[in-house]
Structure 1
Amino acid sequence: MGKTVNKQRPVNLDLSTIRFPVTAIASILHRVSGVITFVALGILLWLLGLSLSSPEGFDKAAAIMGSFFVKFILWGILTALAYHIVGGIRHLLADFGFMEETMVAGKRSAIASFVIAAILSILAGVLVW
């Protein structure tokens, strides 16, 4: 007969009470921004194909890009791309040993990546509008 395992450990089902460290938030956002960038690639390639198909296609693409909603989506795509690049550079610097492998260095680099990505997001907004 098999042994029974005593499962008297605490179970936390209220996810709103969990406090993630800044490094975990940076990692999760890096993954999310990668997915957003991947999905956006298809949309942007479709728009590029439309604009290159004919002069009428270019006019359609220009009309699509004139909408506030589309500009907002484009700004979000550029923001996700900027964060993904900044987070990727952060990971590369750590992998190649240019950053200490301590929690303090991880927190500082995560906060720095947030600040740099925020600045790039503002610049992307200026570029789009």
Structure 2
Amino acid sequence: MKHSSRPVFLNLLQIKMPVGALTSFTHRVTGVLLAASVPVALYLLELSLRNEQGFDDASRLFGHPVVKVVVFVALWTLAHHLLAGIRHLLSDMSVGSTFVTARRSAWWVNVGGLALALVAAGVWL
């Protein structure tokens, strides 16, 4: 029987992926998070528009520190997904497809997503 050199146990935390792969993987994860957040956002919008008490309840909820962290993560998710999506679209049109440019754009997406989230959180807070 021939033994395979393929790993039997795949631990993603032990695999050293390049920055482009991490950016692409994170783009997929942020897409799932954005889709999952739609019902919560719609509920909060409906609560705030229901009546004056509902608006006060929603406003009070956004003042809670845990909710502020969740909103910051949501802002980062949106910013990263937007920038990574633009990067993927440009790559599909063969813009920035060389190894060096693709690696540099992946870093810009990662840093830019965090920077946009910090700016948005600074305006919001």
**TM-score by structure 2 length?**
0.89
Gaps of 5+ in 2: none
Moved over 6 A (4+): none
Give secondary structure in 2 for the equivalent of 1:87: helix
What is the number of residues matched between the two proteins? Answer: 124
Query: CA contact under 8 A between 1:75 and 1:128: conserved in structure 2?
Result: no
Query: Cα distance 1:29–1:107, how it changes in 2: closer, same or farther (>3 A)?
Result: same
Matching residue of 2:4: 8
Higher Rg of the two aligned structures: 1
State yes or no: 1:123 paired with 2:124.
no
**TM-score by structure 1 length?**
0.86
State yes or no: 1:51 paired with 2:48.
yes
Separation (CA, whole Å) in 2 of partners of 1:127 and 1:37? 21
Q: What is the letter of the counterpart of residue 55 of structure 1?
A: E
Matching residue of 2:98: 102
Question: 1:8 deviation in Å?
Answer: 3.3
CA RMSD of aligned residues (A): 1.7
User: Identity over aligned residues, as a percent?
Assistant: 34
Matching residue of 1:38: 35
Gaps of 5+ in 1: none
Query: CA contact under 8 A between 1:74 and 1:128: conserved in structure 2?
Result: no
Q: What is the letter of the counterpart of residue 119 of structure 2?
A: L
State yes or no: 1:24 paired with 2:8.
no
